[in-house]
């Protein structure tokens, strides 16, 4: 969704009231509500790029001059555009094929990377161990809570400042667009690769 747009909710009646008490947007942007007939518009001062917003219209929003209220909660989400959604052919680009891999602990994983406009010397790969299989499953659960349609799910990352780095190396051969990397042999149960 563009960053310079309003967030609209259309009701079945134009006499809804107390909208600021019943409509929430998370994360909460600064802005104001406007009414246009049956449509409630939130006009934000600014939306954050690449953010996933959730709009909740809580049950109970009243119709003025009536005892009627909204019977059910309604929730929808949207994602704002990022600067990288309109990639130019000259912009650096990195893709990791098969983001999740299962390999035996006796075999090194094979990581395939595809790049565009990234010199080989500029691409570093670091490997971080995870403490347990449960930590790995918790990371997957966090990623899987994102909507299937969100770009944020495809580019999901985690904070790698906590674990100590197991291995670090540059990717060689800047002429190749597809790079196959065997970064390490690992005795541990799970690890993270950061490019």
Dist CA 118 CA 91 (whole Å): 9
Q: Confirm if 167 and 126 have CB atoms less than 8 A apart.
A: yes
From the centroid of its chain, how far is CA 169? Answer: 27
Strands (E), the chain: 7-10, 23-26, 31-36, 39-44, 52-57, 74-79, 93-96, 111-116, 124-129, 167-170, 178-181, 191-194
Architecture of domain 7-85 in this structure: Sandwich (2.60)
pLDDT class of 174 with cuts at 50, 70, 90: very low
CA distances from 176 to 47, 135, 185 (A): 38, 34, 24
- Judged against a pLDDT cut of 90, whether residue 154 lies above it is answered with no
- Sheet with strand 23-26: strands edge to edge: 23-26, 52-57, 74-79
Mean pLDDT is highest, among 22-26, 146-150, 183-187, for 22-26
pLDDT in tens, 36-86: 999 999 999 999 988 999 999 999 999 999 999 999 999 999 999 886 555
Q: What is the pTM of this model?
A: 0.64
- Judged against a pLDDT cut of 50, whether residue 165 lies above it is answered with yes
Looking from the CA of 135 toward its CB, the CA atoms found within 13 Å total: 15
Phi/psi of residue 148, nearest 5 degrees: -60, -25
Instruction: Give 131's DSSP letter.
Output: S
Instruction: Give 189's DSSP letter.
Output: S
Domain boundaries for CATH 2.60.40.3710 within the chain: 7-85
């Amino acid at each position: 969704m563009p960053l310079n747009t309003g967030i609209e909710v259309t009701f079945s009646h134009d006499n809804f009231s107390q909208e600021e008490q019943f409509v929430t947007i998370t994360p909460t942007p600064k802005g104001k509500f406007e009414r246009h007939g049956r449509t409630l518009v939130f006009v934000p001062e600014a939306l954050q790029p690449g953010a996933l917003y959730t709009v909740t219209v809580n049950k109970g929003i009243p119709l003025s001059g009536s005892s009627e209220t909204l019977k059910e909660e309604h929730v929808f989400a949207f994602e704002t555009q990022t600067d990288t959604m309109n990639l130019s052919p000259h912009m650096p680009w990195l893709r990791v094929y098969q983001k999740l891999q299962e390999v035996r602990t006796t075999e090194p994983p094979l990581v395939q990377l595809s790049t565009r406009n990234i010199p080989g010397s500029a691409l570093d790969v670091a490997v971080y161990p995870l403490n347990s299989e449960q930590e790995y499953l918790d990371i997957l659960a966090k990623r899987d809570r994102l909507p299937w349609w969100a770009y944020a799910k495809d580019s999901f990352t985690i904070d790698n400042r906590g674990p100590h780095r197991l291995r670090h190396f540059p990717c060689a051969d800047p002429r190749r667009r597809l790079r196959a990397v065997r970064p390490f042999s690992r005795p541990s149960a799970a690890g993270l690769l950061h490019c």
